[in-house]
Amino acid sequence: MDLPPVGLGTMGIENEAVVRTAIDCGYRHFDTAQIYDNEAVVGAGIADADADRADLTVATKLWIDALGATAVRPSTEASLERLGLDAVDLLYVHRPRGDYDPETTLPAVEAVREAGLAEHVGLSNFEPDQLAVAREFLDGIDAHQVEFHPLFWRKSLLTDAQKHGYPLVAYAPLAGGRVFEDPTIADIADQHDTSPAAVSIAWVTSYDNVVTIPKASSRSHLEANLAAADLQLTDADIARIEAIDREEELFPE
């Protein structure tokens, strides 16, 4: 998939005006999920915005109780009804848990794609070995969404994305605000006369095959996150961030 460097993560967004504002700012990738309970909000914001639907990438995720072979299609159709769309651009398996069984879940997801209800199929929060198994049952992995930020990232997942040529979609790029407390990030931000948030987003998007979906609600933060991908970090900056000896996984399995 050809995804923009920065999209909008919508977990916790309950006001459709945020989505409209994001589109007005230039966002074209919107990520929601069944478990966020806001697909209708995202859909309403898209419907009311001044943008061509064909220019937007709308993604949602099947929760772990919707991964049984007979549940995938009706659950997808329910998401589409809430979103007010005929199809999503990207449909994820949210986590390989609950009713997930690669031999039955993934063919059902593939059938949803073949039926035209989803243009692309992605996975989320998978391990490298689980990705390898999934490739046996899918006609390609179009994206993999994972937690990825300066305080927690998995080189093995980045390597898999780059080897197989799909985008790694980084959620929580600001580590839930924890990057603001990191002295290395703060020092690099000072050197570039910018914010720790901008440094973190620029670092995430500096890697080949990696895009990100920070959450923001205000126009100023939406605009700042979008512009952060244009920040050019030096090789030394990137190496310093990679060397941060701290792991804070916000959303463990």
Give domain limits for the chain: 8-177+209-218
Distance CA 219, CA 224 (A): 8
- The mean of the pLDDT values for the chain is 96
Residue with token string 């500096």: 206
CB of 185 closer than 8 Å to CB of 179: yes
> Residues 36, 92, 166, 171: which is the catalytic one?
36
What gap in Å lies between CA 154 and CA 158, rounded to an integer?
Answer: 7
pLDDT in tens, 75-130: 999 999 999 999 999 999 999 999 999 999 999 999 999 999 999 999 999 999 99
| Fold for the domain defined by 8-177+209-218 | TIM Barrel (3.20.20)
Handedness of CA 71, 165, 203, 29 (dihedral sign): negative
pLDDT at 252: 80
8 Å CB contact between 245 and 47? no
CA distance 110 to 103: 11
User: Is 36 a known active-site residue?
Assistant: yes
